[in-house]
Amino acid sequence: MSGWSSPWALATVALLGAALLADAALGKRYARGDGARDGGTARALVVSLNLNLLALFALPALGLAQLPAALAAPLAPVGFALALAGVALRYAAIFTLGELFTWRVAILEGHAIVDRGVFGVLRHPSYAGGIAAMLGAALAFGSWGALALFTATHVPLLLRRIRLEERALLAHFGDAYRAYMERTARLLPHVW
């Protein structure tokens, strides 16, 4: 089973729905900062994520760009597990940052370099978790089309956002942030 007929895809829809509800509930807190440093990436990422979710749900419903059933079936539970791990990593990052988490690139009052929890290993665990969640969701749905679209559209936006964030943090924290960069990976431990 693949696409909407897969119980793994339905479980993934419930997982992503719960994450979207949590984001909506925390939205006011996320909206802190003026976003003057984010180069329009906050809005672009929201639009991209919504379009990618639409593709994730529509392509399987239309029977387009799907993996062969023999490949999709064994990958679906792996995809759900990856999506679950990604959502968990994303919210671990959000709750570790607390009031410092924002959808905008901003230096907030009382801003400090957070290097505990998941931030002791990754500089951008929220983005790493989001990428893992969406890639896993595409696998849970057996949709190579959703996987390719997300990789081609959303991931480059996140990479641009990372460069902007790191530039702002380096400008504000200087050598302390540079030292943090040297002991942590951006998105994938021991890789990048």
Percent of the chain with pLDDT over 90: 81
The predicted pLDDT at position 1 comes to 61
Give the model confidence (pLDDT) of 46-58 as tens digits: 999 999 999 999 9
Domains along the chain with CATH numbers:
3-183 (1.20.120.1630)
User: According to the model, what pLDDT value does residue 58 have?
Assistant: 97
What distance in Å separates the CA atoms of residue 84 and residue 150, rounded to the nearest whole number?
17
The residue type found at 10 is L
* For the chain, the helix, strand and coil percentages under 3-state DSSP, each to the nearest 5: 75, 0, 25
**Arithmetic mean of pLDDT, 131-137:** 98
81-101 pLDDT, tens digit each = 999 999 999 999 999 999 999
Q: What is the DSSP secondary structure assignment for residue 32, as one 8-state letter? A: -
**What is the rounded CA–CA span in Å between residue 27 and residue 18?**
14
What pLDDT does residue 95 have? Answer: 95
User: Does the model's pTM come out above 0.85?
Assistant: yes
Residue 14 CB contacts under 8 Å (≥ 6 apart), including other chains:
none
